[in-house]
Amino acid sequence: MNPIVKTVLQRLGLGLVTLFVVSIVIFSAVTLLPGDFATAILGQSATPETVAAFQRQIGLDRPPVLRYLVWIGGVLRGDLGESFSSAGGLGGGHVRTVVSLVVPRLKNTLFLASFAALIAVPLSLALGMLAALYRNSVFDRLVNLVTLTSISVPEFFIAYILMLFLAVRLPIFYSLANVSADTPLLERIARCALPAMTLVLVIVAHMMRMTRAAIINLLASPYIETARLKGVTPGRIIFRHALPNAWAPIATVIAINLAYLIVGVVVVEVVFVYPGIGQLMVDSVSARDIPVVQASALVFAVTYVLLNLLADIVSIVANPRLLRPR
């Protein structure tokens, strides 16, 4: 069988197993959360009878195993359940499904993540290659210094600094990224500029340093010496002879950072008031809106599995030994 197809199938199978285990972990963690939705909604003064009645209404009185089975059964059918906060008479009558809450938020998050990734990935590859080419030069040190600083500073701090200088002192960008579903694309990009910039600064260092290290590691290989002694120019040596052999470690790091862009951006979302899935999850946790929390966590797990699968595929495609056995 084609090695790519084989690996993809293998990893997909493993990914499903992982997701199953993760679903148990998510469910257990959420169940173990102190406090419950009924008390959170009804307030401290609610009588035990009222709380019990409300719990019965949204199904919280059933044993955890049964609740897990109902939930996971729904997930398998594509039904993530209903949001607690809209259940019964509390939501003002109309019931909101988890899907209708999560999907628009996920779209927003994916938009911001893609925006940041489209800048950060090429930028860090280019910087990494240049740093490898001119290693130990002033340029190399400067790039290392700047990226390391940006990764060491907390992201909310970067966010506020950017906001202060690029939105308040010099009003170039929007300071808040409060978009809605009907915001036109151009305005959406403009409003997302600062959050995207913050994310780029946060993830560039890791990818750039991995690119640099992977390439420098290969520069000691005999085939690089052969290329040099053929009279190949230094730039071409990096780009044509070292980079193709460095894809595997670089792709893994890129995958981790892309996953971070989707699952780890809650701080940036909060700072810029961006309606992403991270904020949704945090709000749902404080409101004890369990179905939404579980759905968000599951989305994050799927993100990790898929991006790592992608990194594996890149590693295979980049390696002729795996792609074309003898």
Residues near another protein (CB under 8 A) are 220-223, 225-233, 236, 240-241, 244-245, 318-321, 324, 326
Please, what is the minimum distance in Å from the beta carbon of residue 85 to another protein?
Answer: 54
- CB of 187 or CB of 225, closer to another protein: 225
Please, what is the minimum distance in Å from the beta carbon of residue 253 to another protein?
Answer: 19
- CB of 105 or CB of 241, closer to another protein: 241
- CB of 19 or CB of 232, closer to another protein: 232
Please, what is the minimum distance in Å from the beta carbon of residue 229 to another protein?
Answer: 4
HEC readout, the chain: CCHHHHHHHHHHHHHHHHHHHHHHHHHHHHHCCCCCHHHHHHCCCCCHHHHHHHHHHHCCCCCHHHHHHHHHHHHHCCCCCECHHHCCCCCCCCCCEHHHHHHHHHHHHHHHHHHHHHHHHHHHHHHHHHHHHCCCCHHHHHHHHHHHHHHHCCHHHHHHHHHHHHHHHCCCCCCCCCCCCCCCHHHHHHHHHHHHHHHHHHHHHHHHHHHHHHHHHHCCCHHHHHHHHCCCCHHHHHHHHHHHHHHHHHHHHHHHHHHHHHHCCHHHHHHCCCCCHHHHHHHHHHCCCHHHHHHHHHHHHHHHHHHHHHHHHHHHHCCHHHHCCC
- CB of 22 or CB of 314, closer to another protein: 314
- CB of 169 or CB of 324, closer to another protein: 324
- CB of 73 or CB of 244, closer to another protein: 244
Please, what is the minimum distance in Å from the beta carbon of residue 117 to another protein?
Answer: 25
- CB of 206 or CB of 241, closer to another protein: 241
**Residue-wise burial string across 230-261, b where 16 or more C-beta atoms lie within 10 A, e elsewhere:** eeeeeeebbeebbbebbbbbbbbbbbbbbbbb
CA dihedral 111, 114, 120, 124 (to 10 degrees): 170
Please, what is the minimum distance in Å from the beta carbon of residue 315 to another protein?
Answer: 12
Please, what is the minimum distance in Å from the beta carbon of residue 62 to another protein?
Answer: 51
Please, what is the minimum distance in Å from the beta carbon of residue 312 to another protein?
Answer: 18
- CB of 186 or CB of 220, closer to another protein: 220
Length of the chain: 326
Please, what is the minimum distance in Å from the beta carbon of residue 222 to another protein?
Answer: 4
Q: Distance between CA 295 and CA 82 in Å, rounded?
A: 11
